[in-house]
Homo-oligomer: A and B are copies of this chain.
Amino acid sequence: MPDSTRYHLVLEYDGTRFCGWQSQSNALSVQDTLEEAIFRYSRARVRTVAAGRTDTGVHALAQQIHFDLPGQPAAQEVRDALNYYLRAGQSHDITVTQAAIAHSEFHARFDAVRRHYLYRLLVHPTPPALDRKRVLWVRHPINLPAMEQAASCLLGKHDFSAFRAASCQAKTSIRTMESLTLTQQTTATGDEVHLRFTADGFLQNQIRIIVGSLLMIGLERWQPERLEQILQSARRSEAGPTAAAQGLYFAGADYPPVP
């Protein structure tokens, strides 16, 4: 029996009432809320590590985390116990969707080779009611082919300084965008456009600034060619506004096969 065991969990959460993933002294984070549930279950004070630090109001469909627990409880027990203690603490907005025992060196952040995000736009003449905290509302029709044409310049390895928050602390602004797709989805409450992003990693606010810039093109205020000029400029002031947090979802991370 080992002294402790490393767990790899997948989380779904509604980011609406949280200051983001990361623990903060003066605000409620997903991380602190989860760690409190881990403590109530295990009596262990543990630090969790996540694949992606979501900002205030950003949701997760599949956040990936790791942490160690004393002993070796079964992964499904950990999953169900944390869901129980989260709800006992009135945190109905966080769910552990999957749990597995990982090898002792597994690292949810450093081992992630690829990260996926989803951004949801509701394109409709009237605002959403049921999904008001789940999508960005766009009142006017958008030119999707123009947005797709523009977005293609972002594929590959680039300096994404133009699409980076002033407060971003990453050491380098070079990232490799592996895919960026725009698809139309018809849901019960309207027509949505889903933007899906895959890269080795993302800078702070990178997706939201890209979406804000693509919307300027979709609304035909900018020509599609302007996106490449913005990218080349490497200046945040050239790019569009930061799109609202409520439309953004951390959608997963990929890890190499276990050696």
**In the complex, chain B residues whose CB is within 8 Å of the CB of A59:** 130
Q: With A92-B132, A132-B92 in contact, is A83–B189 under 8 Å at CB?
A: no
A127 touches B83 (CB 8 A): yes
What does the 1/0 interface line of A84-126 toward B look like (CB < 8 Å)?
Answer: 0001000011111100000000000000000000100000101
Q: State how many angstroms separate the Cβ of A96 from the closest Cβ of chain B.
A: 6
B129 touches A93 (CB 8 A): yes
A241 on the interface (CB 8 Å rule)? no
A93 to B93, CA, bound (A): 19
Name which residue of chain B comes closest to A139, CB basis.
Answer: B80
User: Could you tell me which residues of chain A, from 27 to 79, have a CB within 8 Å of some CB in chain B?
Assistant: 59, 61, 79
**In the complex, chain B residues whose CB is within 8 Å of the CB of A94:** 129
Q: With A92-B132, A93-B132, A132-B92 in contact, is A126–B188 under 8 Å at CB?
A: no
Q: State how many angstroms separate the Cβ of A20 from the closest Cβ of chain B.
A: 16
B92 touches A129 (CB 8 A): yes
A93, A129, A189, A249: most-surrounded residue (chain B CB, <10 A): A129
Name which residue of chain B comes closest to A97, CB basis.
Answer: B126
B13 touches A118 (CB 8 A): no
A134 on the interface (CB 8 Å rule)? yes
A79 touches B126 (CB 8 A): yes
A128 on the interface (CB 8 Å rule)? yes
30 residue pairs A–B, Cβ–Cβ below 8 Å: A12-B128, A12-B129, A12-B130, A12-B189, A13-B129, A13-B130, A14-B130, A14-B132, A59-B130, A61-B130, A61-B188, A61-B189, A79-B126, A80-B126, A83-B126, A83-B127, A87-B127, A92-B129, A92-B132, A93-B129, A93-B130, A95-B126, A95-B127, A95-B128, A97-B124, A97-B126, A118-B188, A130-B134, A188-B249, A188-B251
